[in-house]
Amino acid sequence: MTNTTKKSPRVVRGARGEYAKTRERRKAILDAALEVFAEGGYRSGSLREIAQRVGISEAGLLHHFSNKVALLEAVLDHRDDRSREMVPLGTDDGAATLRGLVRLAAYNASVPGVVELYCTLSAEATSADHPAHDYFVRRYAFTRTNVELAFANLEAEGRLRPGMTPYRGAVILIAMMDGLQVQWLLDRSAVDMAEELRVLISGIVDIDWDVIDESLDDEAVGP
């Protein structure tokens, strides 16, 4: 006699749900680490304090990030994700890159914790034995190269101001961005980072800002 009993379909547990939960937990850890490192610096910030802010054990944190250095690297990448979305790099449109930097400066004013972390870590990382030293060396070299490329493209279009070179423009622009962040952190009513950066760039190249005004307003209030 044929057995007509149907087997119950095998229930596949929600792998997507577990993945989403893990991703959310990692993001919560990165956000907490950003706060802790911004408040007291990388060396003073402890994994235990970060774990407590997330509501997990230190062992639970280490399940996601093997050690403090790995967590720091992830936090820095987390910070750079937004930058990469907003600033087009490596293109032939130098003006687009510079507009993106101004857009990024406007956005940074909405995330003071991120700015604090960057300023604190970049100062600490001047020491060669700091875990983030190589990261910042690479980051500055990468940024200088791409900003210099943007100015070089504009120079080829005859839009670079007399007496300026693409490399010099890149060095000045990066120094201006970092300096503005420090001034802004000390007194947020003293400077408008995006506006001052825009004025500086206008003194280096001939650039049309009309296409960025509306997007700047969106970035400033959106986040």
Q: Quick one: which of 25, 35, 173, 37 has its CA closest to 98? A: 173
Query: Per CATH, the architecture of 87-223 is what?
Result: Orthogonal Bundle (1.10)
pLDDT at 148: 97
pLDDT at 63: 92
Q: What is the pTM of this model?
A: 0.74
Adjacent-strand bridge partners of 205: 160
Mean pLDDT of all residues in 42-61 = 91
pLDDT at 174: 97
Q: What span, in angstroms and rounded, lies between the C-alpha atoms of 111 and 119?
A: 13
CATH number of 14-78: 1.10.10.60
Domain boundaries, the chain: 14-78, 87-223
For 73-112, the pLDDT digits (tens) are 888 887 787 788 889 988 899 999 999 999 999 998 988 8
For 30-47, the pLDDT digits (tens) are 989 888 887 777 878 899
Q: What span, in angstroms and rounded, lies between the C-alpha atoms of 93 and 19?
A: 38
pLDDT at 166: 97
Using the predicted structure, report yes or no on whether residue 215 has a pLDDT greater than 50: no
Q: Among the residues of the chain, which ranges form H helices?
A: 15-44, 47-54, 58-64, 68-86, 94-108, 112-124, 133-156, 166-186, 193-204, 213-221
Burial of 203 (0-12, 13-18, 19+ CB in 10 A): exposed
Using the predicted structure, report yes or no on whether residue 5 has a pLDDT greater than 70: no
pLDDT interval class at 219 (50, 70, 90): very low
Q: What span, in angstroms and rounded, lies between the C-alpha atoms of 197 and 142?
A: 20
Using the predicted structure, report yes or no on whether residue 48 has a pLDDT greater than 70: yes
Whole-angstrom CA distances from 116 to 30, 34, 52, 94, 108 are: 15, 9, 21, 28, 10
Contact 100, 87 (CB under 8 A): yes
